[in-house]
Amino acid sequence: MKLKYIKREFFTGWLKGSLIAIYYLSVIIASLGFFHNKAIAQGQDSLMVENSDSVKLFHSNLHLMARSLGDSVILRWAPDKPGAWSYANVKGYHIDRIPINADSTLDFEGVARLTKEPLKPLPLEAWEKIVNPDDPDKYAAIAAQMLYGKTVTSPGLFQQAIDYTTRFSFTLLAADISPITADALALRFVDKNVAKGKAYLYKIYVAEASEVYTIDTAFLFVNTNFVEELPPVVTSGILELENKIQLKWNRNAYLKRYSAYYIERSEDGKNFTRLTKNPFVHILTDDFRDNESIIYQDSLPENYKPYYYRIIGISPFGELSNPIDPPYRAMGRDKTPPLPPSNVQTEYLGNNKVKITWDKPDKEPDLKGYLIGYSNTADKEGFAPLFSDPLSPDQTSYIDEVESARGTNYYLVAAVDTAGNGSSSLVSYVLVIDSIPPAPPIGLEGSIDSTGVVTVKWSLGSEPDLAGYMVFFANAKDHVFSTLSKRPLADTVFMDTITVNTLTEEIYYTVKSLDLNYNYSASSDTLMLKRPDVVPPTSPVFKNYLITKEGISLEWIPSSSKDAVKYLLFRRTSNGSDSLVAEVVHIPDSSVVWLDGNVKANAIYEYSLFTVDDAGLRSKKSGALGVKMADFSKVPKVMDLYGQVDKENRVIQLRWNYTNAEAHRFVLYRAVNGGNFQSYKSIESNTSEFNDKSVKVEYTYKYALKVHQKNGKTSKFGNIVDLEFQ
């Protein structure tokens, strides 16, 4: 076999459609193929390292991946740099297999070298069995050309480097797609001597180390229990365009599974043909907007003829994925819009009516009719259709009966076809005279926080020409309202700040709507908000008091604060602290009288008052009022006084019985011969008898006792004893 034949008759012709298109992206192609798959490489991925003699060496990682089939394991590997690939082609690769025990330890006694001799690419003569002129394997031809063919580039160093990198990249891509080619390149090995359910550690390394190029050893764990099925490729979107279909699927979802793809199409959903002779590889570029997706575009001879599509993934082991079932159905669609209408004219007819006219000399066969768009600005993005069903293709005028005058009205006319494609005319406008104000705002509500920040809200009006709102306020409902907003507010929320340190408790708000022609609505309902109360009420003042048998009656002048709601009355005894004795309801403009009936005789009380307002704020303490409670109780009389005349001893003997817990003494009163009673003798409380020795014969005497308590209270006369001394 002559390599010249391969190059001229097959390889050069195949590359006309692929090599020229991706020649300058060959480095990227390498990354799309083998190197996106998971592998373990020993060492650091640096371009240059230093040996112990400080001589700079080239460095490369060897990447390894595997696929378990249960009874066998397929290994695929490759270095990541062209120089390492070239060196390894000369020295070859060794493969060692280390069994893994059940406890996940390595069984070093079972280590086996799977390569008696280093694996090297087939020599040029051996490629004849693969590259057969009658039935050539194009990937083997590519690999053979890349491996042994002569360069066709200029002798410049830069061009040689590009050529070298290109050879390396296309070789790896050919190995990904063709297992036979991968075997011939010494980049694939099938280990058929494995046990089912067993785990192994594979080790691949270049047979002989280089003094100038460090190539790391690759390790990979493989569990023969894990047999992975190749998933079908699922699209993330199908775009139906004019005479073309665009298929899109996620790049990252299949990045570690497939190196290239076949795109297949069918007219009946059963018999499929491949749309490309060669596998499809979607190249990553810096200027492509959607690098997360792989995109394939298929040109179609006609629109609206359905086709069926499926995508077949090609793994780095040369395996093909199962197709999606059912396949995707799509068709080309008409995306060419009709010509836009011309000479659009607008005229205001009065009574909120606008007439729109247009021309359409050339009417396409698939013209469905016209849509009219309206906006209050000239920006085409802001137009909304006046109706949903297109007007007849023969109609070239329309009268817009606006619900309310809109000021300046902008219109455009769009021609639409049966496929939904449309093209719009230039914008035309008309001025509508508007004297009708919008409706007043509704749903007014608001709140004031503790710092005085007011939030007022209302519902959005439905008028199309609504320009905004004006907010007004007053401190009383019958006052003149003042404007708060300097310009129309394009919102339904207004924030205001007021003072809260004031005796004015309420504030009032109202809102008016404003349209584009500066027509004001009537005022909304008035919103009353209460300021947060931070000013305490004024204190009450004691006016008078009265001591009665029922207790101590207190009277005070009420607080002058309008928000006063009650009074707190506190009382303190001489040896105690303030205690709340009553909560009294505030009655405006009226003195308050309250009776403290829970008092004791002779006790001294000190009263104080506080006003409480409707916010719970308390006034300062009033001036204190001290009151001593009188004792209205009666001292018991001596009612069992009796006496007798002792003639022998010339005395009148007096005796009595009396019990009283209070400290007291007795005062004896005597009347002689019908005269008035006079105080006669003071007697201590521990005595219950008295002998009157100052008596005379034939005199009459009357006696009575009074009780004088230490607290100053005196009883009345008790019973009177009337005696005659003879």
**Quick one: pLDDT band at residue 352, thresholds 50, 70, 90?**
confident
pLDDT band (50, 70, 90) for residue 289: low
Report the chain's mean pLDDT, rounded to a whole number: 83
Q: Do residues 517 and 573 both lie within one domain?
A: no
366 and 245 in one domain? no
Cα separation of 705 and 716, whole Å? 8
SS3 583: strand
Cis peptide before 326 (omega within 30 of 0): yes
Query: Is residue 134's pLDDT more than 80?
Result: no
Instruction: Choose between 660 and 49: higher pLDDT.
Output: 660
pLDDT above 70 for 35: no
In a domain, 532, yes or no: no
Domain boundary among 628, 650, 682: 628
Give 350's contacts (C-beta < 8 A, 6+ positions apart). none
Q: Is residue 636 part of a domain?
A: no
Kindly report, residue by residue over 385-410, the tens digit of the pLDDT: 989 999 999 999 999 987 655 567 89
- Please state, in angstroms and as integers, the Cα–Cα distance from residue 101 to each residue in 71, 98, 197, 493, 708, following that order: 18, 10, 11, 73, 119
CA angle 228, 232, 234 (to 5 degrees): 135
- 23 and 145 both lie in a single domain: yes
Mean pLDDT of 42-53: 37
Statement to judge: residues 376 and 411 lie in one domain = yes
The predicted structure's pLDDT at residue 153: 54
Tokens, residue 683: 């007697």
Listed residue (124, 85, 95) closest to 188, CA to CA = 95
DSSP state of 674: T
117 SS3 class: coil
Query: What is the SS3 assignment for 721?
Result: strand
Closest CA to 592 of 626, 562, 625, 569: 569
pLDDT at 76: 93
Q: Looking at the domain assignment, is residue 437 inside a domain?
A: no
In this structure, the answer to whether residues 116 and 177 fall within a common structural domain is yes
List the structure tokens of 363. 């009417």
> Residue 601, SS3?
coil
Kindly state the helix (H) or strand (E) to which residue 384 belongs, with its residue range: strand 384-385
Does the structure show a pLDDT above 50 at 15? no
Residues 19 and 155 in one domain: yes
**Cα distance between residue 202 and residue 96, in whole Å:** 6
Band of residue 149 on the pLDDT scale cut at 50, 70, 90 = confident
> In this structure, is residue 536 part of a structural domain?
no
DSSP one-letter code for 10: I
d(CA 565, CA 616): 9
Same domain assignment for residues 138 and 45: yes
Helices 138-148 and 157-177 meet at what angle, rounded to 10? 150
Q: Which of 631, 630, 632, 622 is nearest to 555 (CA)?
A: 622
DSSP strands (E only) in 56-148: 56-60, 62-68, 73-79, 93-100, 112-113
Confidence band of 157 (pLDDT split at 50, 70, 90)? low
Identify which of 161-165, 328-332, 600-604 has the greatest average pLDDT: 328-332
More confident site: 421 or 452? 421
Helical axes 157-177 vs 82-91, angle rounded to 10°: 70
pLDDT for res 132:
62
Angle at 79 between CA 75 and CA 82, to 5 degrees: 140
Q: Is the dihedral of CA 245, 249, 251, 257 positive or negative?
A: negative
Domain assignment of residue 290, yes or no: yes
Q: For residues 604 and 669, state if they share a domain.
A: no
φ/ψ of residue 180, rounded to 5: -60, -40
End-to-end CA distance of the chain: 187
pLDDT at 415: 93
Residue 146: in which H helix or E strand, if any? helix 138-148
- Domain limit, last residue, from 305, 330, 355: 330
The residues facing 354 across adjacent strands are 348, 400
Q: How far apart are CA 455 and CA 527, in angstroms?
A: 11
pLDDT, one tens digit per residue, over 325-340 is: 999 999 999 888 999 9
pLDDT of residue 265: 95
Q: What is the DSSP letter of 521?
A: P
pLDDT at 670: 93
CA distance 69 to 65: 14
β partners of residue 307: 330
pLDDT at residue 465 tops 80: no
The pLDDT of 437-466, averaged and rounded, is 87
Nearest to 315 by CA among 175, 143, 468: 175
Asked if residue 421 belongs to a domain, the reply is yes
| Phi and psi angles of residue 612, each rounded to the nearest 5 degrees, phi first | -120, 130
The answer to whether the CB of 603 falls within 8 A of the CB of 628 is yes
Report in angstroms the alpha-carbon separations of 125 from 1, 131, 136, 184, 474: 7, 10, 15, 12, 105
**pLDDT band, residue 64 (cuts 50/70/90):** very high
* pLDDT given for residue 38 in this prediction: 36
Please say whether the beta carbons of 449 and 396 come within 8 A.
Answer: no
| CA–CA dist 249, 378 (Å, integer) | 40
* Percent of all residues in the chain with a pLDDT value above 70, rounded to a whole number: 87
CA distance 132 to 144: 12
Assess if residue 264 is contained within a domain. Answer: yes
- Domain presence at residue 15: yes
Ranges of H-type helices in 151-221: 157-177, 179-184
Domain count, the chain: 6
Residue 650: strand pairing partners = none
**Which pLDDT score is estimated for 647?**
87
- If asked whether residues 382 and 404 sit together in one domain, one would say yes
Query: Same structural domain for residues 212 and 276?
Result: no
Contact of 391 with 373, CB cutoff 8 Å: no
Answer whether 394's CB lies under 8 Å from 421's CB. no
Question: Is residue 50 predicted with pLDDT exceeding 80?
Answer: no
Tell me: do 664 and 685 sit in the same domain. Answer: yes
Q: What integer is the mean pLDDT of 288-310?
A: 87
Structural domain for 350, as ranges: 342-431
User: Order of strands across the sheet with 527-530?
Assistant: 482-483, 466-474, 506-515, 527-530
CA 199 to CA 222: how far, in whole Å? 6
Distance of CA 183 to the CA centre of its chain: 57
Q: Are residues 462 and 374 in the same domain?
A: no
**CATH number, position 713:** 2.60.40.10
Query: Does residue 4 have a pLDDT over 50?
Result: no
Domain's final residue, options 377, 405, 431: 431
Question: Measured between alpha carbons, how far is 109 from 111 in angstroms, rounded to an integer?
Answer: 6
Mean pLDDT throughout 584-602? 85
Averaged pLDDT, 538-544: 89
Q: Which long-range contacts (CB under 8 A, 24 or more apart) does 283-291 make?
A: 283/22, 283/25, 283/28, 283/29, 283/32, 284/28, 284/31, 284/32, 285/25, 285/28, 290/248, 291/251
pLDDT at 189: 95
Q: What is the DSSP letter of 124?
A: G
Average pLDDT over residues 699-720: 89
Average pLDDT estimate for 63-87: 90
CA distance 722 to 645: 11
